[in-house]
A and B are shown apart, each in its own frame.
Chain A
Amino acid sequence: MSTLNLTLKIWRQRSAKEKGSLETHKMDNVSTDMSFLEMLDILNDKLEREGKEPVIFDHDCREGICGMCSLFINGKPHGPERATTTCQLHMRSFKDGETITIEPWRSSAFPVVRDLMVDRSAFDRIIQAGGYTSAKTGSAPEANIIPVPKENADLAMDAATCIGCGACVASCKNASASLFTSAKVSHLALLPQGQVERTERAINMVNQMDEEGFGHCTNEGECEAACPKEITVENIARMNREFIKASAVSRG
């Protein structure tokens, strides 16, 4: 184990209505075995002992699966490591003497709640618009009645691994939520269980995405590079096909 001396520039903002700014903190003797959030825990512990308010950030599982953590670290969502959420990022990824800038996700559809915490409820509303099959409890047929080709099941699983963190939106210059939305559209479109509502789902989810104020996708591909779960932009292509097909069907 070795240690690092670091300078942190952290975004502080009381609420969406107030203006924010960067605040500088020195952190000495940071263990390289620490996770990034553990480093922030130590800063907060220090602030609290000084009677100051801690830096607010979202987190929960600290295992890269709940999608609660966020943070724009040195200009990248979830920091420098590929396929790694902020909570799984470890300080061995940084160099001694480095200055680290930490900001919230920036998108008008994700208003800041406090400091680094943002409101991502727009994602929930996109799912509410159609990200389900309408299989009521009790109405399901025997599970093995419909075999699903393994390849489709695996592709559906790949899309379904989205953790809803919002890194795709944060990385996109248009703040588009296409990767997130398309992951759910694809997951269900790839399975026989998702067929009945396929048309409606694509239309409703895409419309909701627009309504929430997310930008349009212009195929920059930044989202794929930023996604901690490596969801691919093929899903966006699939969603676009679904949407076009669906629009044609619903017009006809």
Chain B
Amino acid sequence: MALKSNAPDGDIQTAWTRHKFHNLKLVNPANRRKFKIIIVGSGLAGSSAAASLGEMGYNVDCFCVQDSPRRAHSIAAQGGINSSKNYPNDGDSVYRLFYDTVKGGDYRSRERNVYRLAEVSANIIDQCVAQGVPFAREYSGYLANRSFGGAQVSRTFYAKGQTGQQLLLGAYSALSRQIKAGTVTMHTRSEMLDLVKVDGTARGIITRDLKTGKVSRHAGDAVLLCTGGYGNVFYLSTNAMNSNATAAWRCHKKGAFFANPCYTQIHPTCIPVSGDHQSKLTLMSESLRNDGRVWVPKKKGDNRKAREIPENERFYYLEEKYPAFGNLVPRDVASRNAKNAYDDGLGVNGKEQVYLDFADAIKREGEDAIRAKYGNLFDMYQRITGESPYEMPMRIYPAVHYTMGGLWVDYNLQSTIPGLFVLGEANFSDHGANRLGASALMQGLADGYFVAPYTVSGYLGSTTLDKVTTDHPAFQEAEKDVDDKNTKLLSVNGKKSVDDFHRKLGKLMWNHCGMARNEEGLKKLITELAALREDFWKNVAVVGAKEDLNVTLEKAGRVADFIELGELMARDALNRKESCGGHFREESVDTGEFAGEAMRNDEDFAYVSAWEFQGVGNDQTLHKEELEFEHCKPTKRSYK
């Protein structure tokens, strides 16, 4: 199947405007309420889409697994959101944000999508301010900005270290208004467990009520998946405990292609693991690299306290190797260099950790100024580690944070299943092989506020849809599949806990499909994951009942899907014999001027890998979307 991006040709700067006018039909305001739109997820992407489509007059049903839409994982985003406003007058523009994002993604994203993202980024800030999002301001009363990795301009808007929280509460407030107005019906503690297709088109979902275990059917005219990323494949990640891939994976099994699953982002600054009991990892925002300096002792086995190590015996490896960007190199570069440092035996106290030091910043600006900027992050660090970053440097370590891969979508954010749209982190669209800091929040809100309302209307306005009710056999069948799967999980009656499997999966993925990958390791991983899958279905222990609140059953279903997704990630990583962005193949490194740095292979791999499901455990079919770069000519991505 040839993958068509459906992006308009011609001048990129007018592409979105022309597309809206020429290619996207409108739905008359009076007709909108006749359409039911199902939105799965209430993070930035889901809440903003549900609110906006509700305001337009559509009839929206929105679902989330938490007890309130306000608690979606987006709430945890700390650092900020990018926008090309150019308030600091330091040379930013739509074009520069576009260029930085394509370059930051290591030339593996679709130019036209990224351009549109940069274009609507200014509207996002306007919208959020109007909602009352309390962004940081200067004494003048105007909005403040800071810098993030991979950019030489200050374009990041922030609300202390709680930007995601404030943006989500803004979107949640708009959503709440629509719930009150009756255009949106909210279903909390509801998990989507399958997609329902009628005549090849997405027409509904099957959900399980997490309070009662009751399975139910929901029919609609379009389904918007806004279910977030799949970083929890690795067990330990910075994602929230409930973040999962189940909705996306089950759509994949129903025919939606999965794109670039191997592109995962490892964030360089997380709090190191303290023991086997560890359930998740805590991020320390990238914004800290504005003022913190990354270093390790120059001597192996130097176990002196940080403050006792003199300046000339410290290795500020980022500043030395990348003078232009210094500590603000993109995440993949920072993470890999941390790994190199501790692989070379230079990790702090012999462990997989490096320092992030604020001593100079405190000397320069005073403790109060630093507290004002990062106080809540420092407190969080101290609560977890028992150490004060005002007195000693933070210990940090790279951890899984974000997944660039996701369901394949065209320019309209529509998947390969007509009527199934995918927004936010759940799609693959804008970040290529590596996402720049503060760009996920931007993308989630761009998709939900400013893209999907047009493209979903375009779909509804130009498609003839028969009336479908939940009595349709396709619903019966999907409900039965869900029920059978749950019955099967409960009947294994094994001895190993769901977490045992999840932990093991995480270790395998981290060792062979983490920060560095190679052919041998990936082949081994594929075999081991197949064995893990079989073991799971023979030996997992799931207690409790199907038609009852049952957190073990919830987890078991998600882990089963994670294992299958892990297999696809490994296959994708094996296929991509180049290093790009977050995907580092040890066989593909520079041997010349940039010795040891990742080496991309544009000749053979300038494409999106979109995988078509062919049954559990089987090889999937690879479809390629060739990428063209008319504006950002792929060059060596250097931050020296």
Contact = CB atoms under 8 A, between A and B. Distances in A.
Nearest to B52: A137
B198 interface: no
Given A53-B543, A60-B241, 5 more contacts: A41-B277, A90-B384, A138-B127, A140-B129, A143-B130
Given A144-B142, A193-B131, A120 B544 contact: no
Interface in A59-86: 59-68, 81, 83-84
A65 B285 CA distance: 14
A132 B134 contact: no
A88 B282 CA distance: 10
Which of B75, B132, B186, B188 gathers most chain A CB within 10 Å? Answer: B132
B28 to A, nearest CB: 18
B71 A193 contact: no
B380 A63 contact: yes
Interface in A132-171: 132-144, 147-150, 153-154, 156-157, 160-161, 163-164
Nearest to B138: A150
Interface stretch (B170-178, B349-357, B589-597): B170-178
A119 B67 contact: yes
Contacts, number: 218
B486 interface: no
A49 B497 contact: yes
Nearest to B241: A60
Given A41-B277, A132-B176, A63 B282 contact: yes
Interface string B272-292: 001101111011000000000
Interface of B: 48, 51-52, 55, 66-71, 73, 75-76, 85, 87, 123, 125-132, 134-143, 159-160, 162, 164-166, 169, 172-174, 176-177, 179-180, 186, 188, 211, 240-242, 274-275, 277-280, 282-283, 379-380, 383-384, 386, 449-450, 453, 495, 497, 499, 541, 543-544, 549, 551-552
A65 B541 contact: no
A150 B52 CA distance: 30
Interface string A95-139: 000000000000000000110010111011001110111111111
Which of B137, B188, B497 gathers most chain A CB within 10 Å? Answer: B137
Contacts of A252: none
A135 B130 contact: yes
8 contacts: A38-B279, A61-B240, A67-B71, A117-B549, A133-B130, A137-B453, A163-B165, A187-B132
A121 B379 CA distance: 30
Contacts of B179: 124, 128
A248 interface: no
Contacts of A6: none
A66 B384 contact: no
A56 interface: yes
Given A60-B73, A62-B240, A160-B166, A131 B176 contact: yes
B277 A88 contact: no
Interface stretch (A17-25, A28-36, A215-223, A235-243): A28-36
Given A61-B240, A135-B131, A124 B142 contact: no
Contacts of A51: 541, 543
A12 B328 CA distance: 49
Contact of A33 (B165, B240, B275): B275
Contacts of A193: 129-132
Contact of A45 (B165, B283, B497): B497
A142 B383 CA distance: 39
A129 B280 CA distance: 35
Contact of A147 (B69, B76, B131, B142): B142
B320 to A, nearest CB: 33
A31 B277 contact: yes
A141 B126 contact: yes
A167 B123 CA distance: 36
Given A127-B173, A128-B177, A34 B166 contact: no
B134 A160 contact: yes
Given A62-B280, A137-B52, A156-B132, A113 B75 contact: no
Contacts of B52: 137
A213 interface: no
B284 to A, nearest CB: 11
B134 A129 contact: no
Contacts of A35: 279, 384
A123 B71 CA distance: 12
B131 A133 contact: yes
Contacts of A134: 177
Contacts of B87: 144
